[in-house]
C-alpha cells in the first residue's frame, strides 16, 4: 500500500480494503511502502504461488508490477490514486473497497497475462509520455491546492501556458531515425492516462505492441476541441496526429529544441530525454474482477466488456 497515493486516499481506505479481502477468504498481510523502489522490492520477494494486491495510484501499481514480474506472483490492482486509469482499463471499480469486494476468492481467482512496458529497469503498465503531457504530470504531482481528478485540468492549463511544441527524433524498432514536430508523444501499453483521457484508444495490454501516438503542433486555440476528442478517443481521425505500433521506441529531443525534457510513465517521473521504451509480451499475471454489484451500472458494463475480451464468463 502506498500511504501517499491520492492525497492519503489509500491510507484512509487500507483497513477497510483488508477487511473486504478477508471477507472474500484471503489471508491478508499489510505492507506499507516507503518508496516506489521499496514497493518493487517487496513485491519481488513474494513467491510464485503468492498473490500481491497493490493499493495505490497507477505509478505505484506499475512499480509493484515490476517486482511481481520478477517474483512470478499474481497481481491484484486496487485503486488508491487520483486518476486510476489502469483500473478503468482492466474493468475494476474505481472505489477501493468496492474493488476489493470484487476480488474473487482464492479458489475462484482467474488471472490473465498482460504485457509490461519498460523504461530502462522501470516497469509501467499504462502510458509513458514526453512533451506537454509530461509537463502536466510534473505540475500535477507538485500541486497541493487542487485535489482529485480536477488536478489534471488545473495542471494542463498551467502547462499549456508555458510549454511549446518540440522537435523530436524518433526511431521505431529498426526503422530509420526521423524527426517529428509535436506537442506531445505518448507511448501506450494501455489506453488511458490523466484521469480518463483515451490518448492511445486502440492500445491492448495483451497484444505485444506499444502504441506510439504523436500529437502534432496544432494552434493553442484548438486545444479545447482537441482534448475533447482525446477524452473520447477520436483524435486520430484526421488532423496532424499519428499512430503507429512498435516493440521498441527511442525518442530524444532534437538539438536546439525548446521542449520540456522530462519523461513520465504512469504519472511518475522516470527520467529525462533521450529515452528508450520496450515491451515484454505476456510477462505479468493479473487478476480479473468479478462483476461489480448491481448499483454500479457503468462499472458493470465496463467490467463485462473487459471480461468478454478476455474470454471469461462470470
Q: What is the DSSP letter of 302?
A: H
Q: What is the pLDDT of residue 238?
A: 76
Which of 7-16, 110-119, 138-147, 224-233 bottoms out in mean pLDDT, i.e. has the lowest?
138-147
Task: Note the pLDDT tens digit of each residue in 154-202.
Answer: 888 888 888 889 999 999 999 999 999 999 999 999 999 888 899 999 9
Q: What pLDDT band is residue 71 in, cutting at 50, 70 and 90?
A: confident
Q: Give 94-109 pLDDT, tens digit per residue.
A: 899 999 999 999 999 9
DSSP E strand boundaries for the chain? 51-56, 74-79, 111-119, 122-124, 127-131, 166-172, 178-182, 184-188, 210-215, 242-246, 248-253, 262-265, 268-272, 275-287
Give all domains of the chain, ordered by start, each with its CATH number.
5-110+288-310 (3.40.50), 124-281 (2.60.200.40)
**Cell triple for 134:** 509530461
Instruction: Please count the residues of the chain.
Output: 314
pLDDT tens-digit series, residues 284-299 = 999 999 875 555 666 5
- 148 pLDDT more than 90: no
Average confidence (pLDDT) over 296-308 = 60
More confidently predicted of 294 and 137: 137
Phi and psi for 196 in degrees, rounded to 5? 120, 0
Write down the pLDDT at residue 145. 76
Mean pLDDT of 76-86: 91
Q: What is the pTM of this model?
A: 0.88
The predicted pLDDT at position 156 comes to: 84
Question: Does residue 122 have a pLDDT over 70?
Answer: yes
List the grid coordinates of 122: 522501470
Amino acid at each position: 500500500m502506498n500511504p501517499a497515493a491520492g492525497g492519503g486516499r489509500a491510507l484512509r481506505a487500507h483497513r477497510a480494503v483488508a477487511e473486504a479481502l478477508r471477507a472474500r477468504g484471503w489471508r491478508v498481510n499489510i505492507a506499507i511502502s516507503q518508496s516506489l523502489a521499496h514497493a518493487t522490492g517487496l513485491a519481488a520477494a513474494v513467491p510464485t504461488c503468492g498473490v500481491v494486491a497493490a493499493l495505490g495510484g497507477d505509478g505505484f501499481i506499475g512499480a509493484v508490477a515490476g517486482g511481481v514480474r520478477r517474483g512470478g506472483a499474481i497481481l491484484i490492482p486496487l485503486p488508491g490514486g487520483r486518476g486510476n486509469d489502469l483500473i478503468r482499463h482492466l474493468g475494476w471499480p474505481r472505489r477501493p473497497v468496492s474493488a476489493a469486494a470484487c476480488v474473487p476468492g482464492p479458489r475462484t481467482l482467474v488471472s490473465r497475462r498482460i504485457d509490461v512496458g519498460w523504461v530502462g529497469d522501470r516497469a509501467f503498465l499504462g502510458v509513458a509520455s514526453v512533451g506537454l503531457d509530461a509537463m502536466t504530470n510534473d505540475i500535477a504531482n507538485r500541486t497541493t491546492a487542487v485535489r482529485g481528478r480536477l488536478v489534471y485540468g488545473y495542471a494542463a492549463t498551467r502547462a499549456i501556458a508555458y510549454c511549446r511544441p518540440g522537435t523530436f527524433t524518433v526511431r521505431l524498432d529498426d526503422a530509420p531515425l526521423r524527426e517529428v514536430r509535436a506537442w506531445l508523444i505518448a507511448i501506450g501499453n494501455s489506453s488511458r492516462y490523466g484521469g480518463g483521457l483515451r490518448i492511445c484508444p486502440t492500445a491492448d495490454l495483451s497484444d505485444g505492441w506499444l502504441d506510439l501516438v504523436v500529437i502534432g503542433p496544432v494552434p493553442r486555440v484548438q486545444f479545447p476541441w482537441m482534448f475533447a476528442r482525446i477524452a473520447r478517443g477520436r483524435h486520430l481521425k484526421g488532423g496532424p496526429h499519428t499512430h503507429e505500433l512498435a516493440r521498441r521506441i527511442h525518442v530524444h529531443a532534437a538539438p536546439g529544441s525548446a521542449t520540456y525534457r522530462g519523461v513520465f510513465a504512469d504519472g511518475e517521473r522516470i527520467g529525462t530525454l533521450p529515452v528508450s521504451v520496450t515491451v515484454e509480451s505476456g510477462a505479468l499475471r493479473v487478476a480479473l474482477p468479478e462483476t461489480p454489484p448491481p448499483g454500479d451500472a457503468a462499472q458493470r458494463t465496463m467490467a463485462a466488456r473487459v471480461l468478454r475480451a478476455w474470454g471469461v464468463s462470470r
